[in-house]
Amino acid sequence: MGREQRRKEAKKVRNNKIARDINNDDMFKATTILKIVFAVIIILLVLYYILAVFVTKEIDVSGNKDSSSNEMDSSYSVSNKILATNTFRQVDQVYYVYYYDFDEENEDIASLVNNLTDYKVYRVDTGSSLNSNYVTEDESNKDVTDISNLKVKNPTIIKIDNDQVVEYHEGVDDITSFLSE
């Protein structure tokens, strides 16, 4: 083998080695990128799980079906829940607004209210601090005309027709007798 031929062989070997090195580098880069993407996905999933368990309480890890967080969740699932400030702002012309503490609901009144099918019933949580300006322990205002003079006791149900209060019932006995009619 001559000198020229050895150079050509060496050049081919060098070119093949460079090609293999480039392929190895590309493969290394690709696996590195995949590892980084996988690590970011894992970190995001762990972060979501931590937030869901501790911050939003979306995931209950206690396994206790009777926990207080489940009771709180039940108040969020109340249909037609509104704030007291929206008492006179509903789109229906005639409707009821039922004020009660979602944590201490009277079962007798609840079943009677659920049987009201004439008009829509909106529910206001008197135990919520957002509604505390409209709830009183002392004396309520049975002659309420608008939101500025609304004061109710727990429980109360009012019927509103064209933004006017047409019926006002408070207390378990009064509400029960009204709804039993």
Residue 106 — φ and ψ, nearest 5°?
Answer: -80, 120
Which pLDDT value is given to residue 103?
Answer: 87
Distances (CA, A) of 38 to 31, 32, 51, 74, 103: 10, 10, 20, 38, 45
**For the chain, first and last CA: distance in Å?**
116
Q: Is residue 105 part of a domain?
A: yes
Q: Is residue 47 part of a domain?
A: yes
User: Would you give the DSSP letter of residue 123?
Assistant: E
Which pLDDT value is given to residue 24?
Answer: 63
Which residues, in sequence order, are CB contacts of 98 under 8 Å at separation 6+?
113, 121, 122, 123, 124, 155, 156, 157
Q: 97 lies in which domain range? A: 79-180
β-strands 164-170, 156-161 pairing:
antiparallel
With a threshold of 0.85, does the pTM exceed it?
no
Statement to judge: residues 97 and 49 lie in one domain? no
Which pLDDT value is given to residue 138?
Answer: 83
The answer to which of 8-12, 43-47, 131-135 has the lowest mean pLDDT is 8-12
Tokens (6 digits) for 84:
């007291």
Are the C-beta atoms of residues 99 and 135 closer than 8 Å to each other?
A: yes
Statement to judge: residues 87 and 146 lie in one domain? yes
Q: Is residue 71 part of a domain?
A: no
Asked if residue 76 has pLDDT above 60, the reply is no
Q: Is residue 122 part of a domain?
A: yes
Which pLDDT value is given to residue 74?
Answer: 46
Write down which residue in 11, 31, 59 finishes a domain: 59
Q: Is residue 67 part of a domain?
A: no
Taking only the tens place, the pLDDT of each residue in 166-175 is 999 998 899 8
Q: Looking at residue 129, which CATH number applies to its domain?
A: 3.40.30.10
Count of CB atoms situated within 10 Å of the CB of 159: 19
How many domains in the chain? 2
Taking only the tens place, the pLDDT of each residue in 84-107 is 888 888 888 999 999 999 888 888
Statement to judge: residues 54 and 92 lie in one domain? no
Asked if residue 108 has pLDDT above 80, the reply is yes
The answer to which of 6-20, 31-45, 70-84 has the lowest mean pLDDT is 70-84
Name, of 5-9, 27-31, 93-97, the range with top average pLDDT.
93-97
Statement to judge: residues 93 and 165 lie in one domain? yes
Are the C-beta atoms of residues 95 and 119 closer than 8 Å to each other?
A: yes
